[in-house]
Structure 1
Amino acid sequence: MSEWLVLAIAMAAACAVVLIATLLLQRRRHDAEETGVEPAETPDVLEYMTMMVGVVYAIVLGLAIAGVWEARSAAQDDVRREAQALYEVTQRAEVYPPDAQRQLRSDIDRYVAHVVHQEWPRMIDGHELTGRGAELLDVVRSDIAQRVPVGELEAQAYQPMLDQVAVADDARNARESNAGATLPGVVWFGLITGALVTVGLIFTMQIGRSYRELLLAGLFSALIAFLLFLVWDFDAPFGRSGSESADAFRQLFPGAAGLG
């Protein structure tokens, strides 16, 4: 299901709930007026409590958005670090003979193609990496480590290239640890419960006496639904569908990423 479709459904559902609840309250208020019962005015303390609950929930929601955004940014930094480290290896390999360059770049291309096309969907759906990816990265490391440097240039490039492979391996491990959701279930329970309480409290203010009040209540509930959707979407550091978060590999290895 498309993320935009999820957002549209969530916002429409929130507005529909507010509309139905308001119409029911209007009908109840109308029946009370017909029986001669005057509606009670909203106590000042209730208005104050409603305001305070809204403020507290806004702070919690803001912290949740900031947390998932920071986690997504850190995950994307790890992807760029991994891709850049492998790219540096290909650049430093220019001191190698043509045959050794082709072999090393071919193995790196195989790793990148596997990451983009096989490993990324599994990482998004199952929150884990493949064993094959680790094997392909070990092949790249072996291409460098098992070759005896010939000449001063190769000797100077040997250790930095191994260091870059180590950086890529470390970034790969960080990518695996960041593949899961950022927020625990108890936080989601608090966010959803807080949304229900915050939206529910607006009905204690006797809304629905005019279309403007109804419109504002609907927009408020739609805003809460949008912010919750934002948290839900960012809670997946590498996205919930597709492999757009692997663009760093596509940019630095366009040929390898297109192998499929």
Structure 2
Amino acid sequence: MSNIVSGLIVVAFAALIGFMGLVVKVRFFPVKEEEEREDVAGYVTMVVGVIYALILALALVAVWENKDSAEGHVATESSALHELYLLGATMAPADQQRVQTAATAYEEYVVNTEWPKLRNGDEIDNTGWTLLTTLRTAVLTSDTGTTARQDVLSDATTQLSTLADARRGRLDDATKRMPPVLWIGLILGGILTIGLTFAYGIEQRFTHIGMVMGMVALIGFMLILIYNLENPFNHGLGADPEPFKRLFD
């Protein structure tokens, strides 16, 4: 809820800035009645607006795809881990305890320790991989004296590979960020696009003010959305550890 409220405040503030800027322009730099609107200026404004809209769309699509990729890896990882936990129940009692204990330890570490680091953008150490190695050792050293247990081991080995690949993909998703130069383009492009709207004089000034405020609010909203989605594990909009909690709680 705090993210939503802060986002609305920023959007309202951006609209207010657009309103104040247009009022200052109209008050101190009025358009003369005999001044004719230049077709070239209108063409330039249109081109800049279209290009900026494309940049915004591409940036939004990029961060949204990263979020979807992160959610997919989380779902796959939690499902494979849960399957290993269930397969452990079919092993010998000693092996069952070791496998299920290792699976639970991995899940608790991911949810309680690793996830806050993902949300804050902190570096992830090798503890998770160590716990995964412990789980792999518990599975691969289990008793395979019967054909049924050999089949279980085969299935468990497949799930271990799936789990490792999904974890690798999740950690890779956490490092994906938009380059700073793109952020510079988004911000400067927004300022330029809004600034060009001040170049025209409209007889119905309230209509002009409303149009500018709406444009500024929309651009501000889009920038906030892109900023929040840039980290695919951001609280509220990004991937969360619910798949792990739902399967193990």
Contact 1:127-1:176 within 8 A present in 2 as well:
no
Match of 1:4 in 2: 4
TM-score by length of 1: 0.88
Secondary structure of 2:241's aligned partner: helix
Task: Map 1:230-249 to 2 at 5 A.
Answer: 230-240=225-235, 245-249=240-244
Query: How many residues of Structure 1 are paired with residues of Structure 2 in the alignment?
Result: 249
State the Cα distance separating 1:149 from its structure 2 match: 0.8
Worse-matched range after superposition: 108-117 or 243-252 = 243-252
State the Cα distance separating 1:163 from its structure 2 match: 2.1
Residues 170-197 of structure 1, C-alpha deviations (whole Å, 9 max, x = no match):
2112211111343111111111111111
2:186 paired with 1:191: yes
Match of 2:155 in 1: 160
State the Cα distance separating 1:219 from its structure 2 match: 0.9
2:129 paired with 1:134: yes
CA distance in 2, matches of 1:223, 1:61: 11
Where has structure 1 moved over 4 Å in runs of 4 or more? 240-244
- Unmatched runs of 5 consecutive residues or more in structure 2: none
CA distance in 1, matches of 2:237, 2:26: 46
TM-score by length of 2: 0.91
Secondary structure of 2:207's aligned partner: helix
Secondary structure of 1:178's aligned partner: helix
Cα RMSD between the aligned structures? 2.2
Identity percentage of aligned residues: 29
2:155 paired with 1:125: no
2:175 paired with 1:177: no
State the Cα distance separating 1:230 from its structure 2 match: 1.2
Contact 2:106-2:131 within 8 A present in 1 as well:
yes
State the Cα distance separating 1:207 from its structure 2 match: 4.8
Residues 31-84 of structure 1, C-alpha deviations (whole Å, 9 max, x = no match):
x8xxxx646232121112111211111111111111111111011111111111
Worse-matched range after superposition: 66-75 or 93-102 = 93-102
Task: Give the letter for the 2:15 counterpart.
Answer: C
State the Cα distance separating 1:4 from its structure 2 match: 1.8
CA distance in 2, matches of 1:135, 1:90: 17
Task: Give the letter for the 1:4 counterpart.
Answer: I
Match of 1:258 in 2: none
CA distance in 1, matches of 2:203, 2:74: 50
- Unmatched runs of 5 consecutive residues or more in structure 1: 255-260
